[in-house]
């Protein structure tokens, strides 16, 4: 096949009508502060695990809201707590991640 320098990518459409948000709701019940995330990306900028699994709490919360599987993101999280310290909304992200890890059963 000829290389044009670009290619067709897979559709990135997210059908929010079909997305299952049960896990997000479950998480919000345990860590209500998840709802206050404004997706500023401070956590993405500081995350130690970002370079290994693309982890960031922003992506995790966004993924859950869209009903996506966020387990690959979480797999390299080392719970170092930098995201907690930089979060302008004061979200206890470490607790959020622990609660989420517990909810997969």
Partner 1 sequence: MIDRIPSGFHPFVLPFLAGMIFVLSYCVYGIIKILVQLPGEDRRRFYLSLVTPKTVLKNIRDIFCDCLFHVKLWKRNRLLGYMHSSIAFGWFMLIVLGHVEVILFLPHRIRLFYYPIFFNYFVAETDSTIQGSLLFFLMDFFLLVVLSGIVLAMVKRVRSRLFGMRRTARPSLTNQIGLYCLWAIFPLRLLAESFTAHISGGSFLTVPANWVFRQFLGNDLNMLPTWWAYSIVLGVFMVVLPFSRYMHIPAEMMLIPMRNAGLKIRNARKGFARVQVYSCPNCGVCIDACPMSVNKANIKDCTVYLTRQLRRGNERRITEISDKCLLCGKCQAVCQVGVDGPGIRILNRAERNYALKPDYSSIDGTAIGRASAGGRVAYYGGCMTQLVPSIGRSVTSLLEKAGIDYRWIDRDGGICCGRPMWTAGRLKEAEEIVRKNEELIRATGAVTLVVSCPICYRMFRESYHLPDIEVVHYVPYIQALIAEGKLQVEHDDICYAYHDPCELGRGCQLYEEPRQLLSQVVRLSEAEKNRAESVCCGGSLGSLSLSFAQRENMTRAALENLYHSKADAIATACPLCQATFSRYADRPVRDIAEIVDLHAKANKQNKQAI
Interface residues toward partner 1, by CB under 8 A = 33, 46, 48, 50-53, 71, 74-82, 84-86, 90, 92, 94-95, 98, 100-105
Of 35 and 71, CB closest to partner 1:
71
CB of 15 to partner 1, least distance (A): 25
Of 13 and 51, CB closest to partner 1:
51
CB of 60 to partner 1, least distance (A): 11
CB of 62 to partner 1, least distance (A): 18
CB of 94 to partner 1, least distance (A): 6
Of 31 and 65, CB closest to partner 1:
31
> Of all helices (H) and strands (E), which one includes residue 11?
none
The secondary structure of residue 5, as a DSSP letter, is S
Cβ atoms of residues 68 and 24 within 8 Å: no
Identify the burial level of 5 via C-beta atoms within 10 angstroms of its C-beta, where 0-12 means exposed, 13-18 middle and 19 or more buried: exposed
Query: In sequence order, what are the residues at sequence separation of 6 or more whose Cβ sits closer than 8 angstroms to the Cβ of residue 5?
Result: none
> Of all helices (H) and strands (E), which one includes residue 53?
helix 50-53
Of 16 and 20, CB closest to partner 1:
20
> Of all helices (H) and strands (E), which one includes residue 30?
helix 22-30
């Amino acid at each position: 096949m000829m290389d044009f320098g670009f290619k067709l990518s897979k559709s990135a459409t997210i059908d929010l009508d079909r997305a299952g948000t049960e896990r997000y709701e479950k998480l919000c019940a345990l860590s209500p502060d998840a709802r206050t995330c404004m997706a500023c990306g401070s956590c993405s900028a500081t995350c130690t695990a970002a370079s290994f699994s693309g982890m960031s709490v922003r992506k995790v919360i966004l993924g859950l809201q869209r009903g996506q599987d966020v387990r690959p993101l979480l797999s390299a999280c080392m719970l170092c707590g930098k995201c907690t310290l930089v979060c302008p909304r004061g979200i206890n992200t470490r607790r959020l991640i622990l609660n989420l890890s517990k909810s997969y059963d």
